[in-house]
Amino acid sequence: MVVSGPRRTCATAQRVLDLYARIFDSTPLGEDEYVISADEKTSIQARCRCHPTLAPGQARSMRVNHTYGRGGALAYLAAYDLHRAEVFGRCEQSTGIVPFMRLVEQVMGNEPYASAKRVFFIVDNGSSHRGRSAIDRLPPGSRTPS
């Protein structure tokens, strides 16, 4: 959805806030309808510890070696079910359409979302998930822009 102008912004914000309250088009959501908030974070520094942490022993505290190896920068994509407190996440080499669609498939491949009447995704205006082309990538029958 493309938002322009203050009136459009208020209407869009109200629609999103209604979803947070489990309402869509002035109607409460049913038990088989879900609201997911998704976002992506770029340039997460992947680090791996060079040595394992040693558990505490008799008269010895836990030992943690703070040296690490660099694993490059990754993108973290996450989705959160606002009303069930269910979290989905994945690391990818970069953000984009394909990684975002993998996140959507990860969510939609699980129950109760796979058999839900409707699942609403709240996303920002990132290039991976905005506009008509993002709506067209969704399976038929699930293309309700909001």
In the beta sheet, which residues pair with residue 16? Answer: none
Confidence bin at 7 (pLDDT 50/70/90): low
Average pLDDT taken over every residue of the chain: 85
In-domain check, residue 10? no
Looking at the structure of the chain, the number of domains it has is: 1
pLDDT at 137 over 80: no
Place of tokens 């806030």: 17
Range of the domain at 94: 30-53+63-146
Tell me, yes or no, whether 8 lies in a domain: no
pLDDT at 142 over 80: no
- pLDDT (0 to 100) of residue 140: 63
Token pair in block for residue 112: 């109760």
